[in-house]
Amino acid sequence: MLRTSWIVWTIANIFWFVLFISVALFLWFRTVDGTGAVQTPELKLFAITVWAAFFIIPVVIQIIWCLINIVVSQKTKKRAS
């Protein structure tokens, strides 16, 4: 059970990382946004900053999940000893 939790956590982290990089690259390489405004480097950086701000929520969830995994694995090791 515990090993499965770490495997799922790793897969979820890979998914979130790939999603973040993919969207950031999309935001950087697009020439116009949804409103038709031409994207300058400043606007591109602003869009990526907004994306990163929203991305904090899954990062916090992943950190909490990691801490739970660490606590549970330490309890399991103490019981095995």
pLDDT at 35 over 70: yes
Total domains present in the chain: 1
pLDDT per residue over 36-81, tens digit each? 999 999 999 999 999 999 999 999 999 999 999 889 888 888 887 7
Report residue 39 as tokens. Answer: 């994207």
Domain range spanning residue 28? 2-80
Whole-angstrom Cα distance, residue 37 to residue 10? 38
Q: Give 1's pLDDT tier (boundaries 50, 70, 90).
A: low
For 65, phi and psi rounded to 5 degrees? -60, -40
Task: For the chain, give percent helix, strand, coil, nearest 5.
Answer: 85, 0, 15
Whole-angstrom Cα distance, residue 72 to residue 70? 6
Q: Give 3's pLDDT tier (boundaries 50, 70, 90).
A: confident
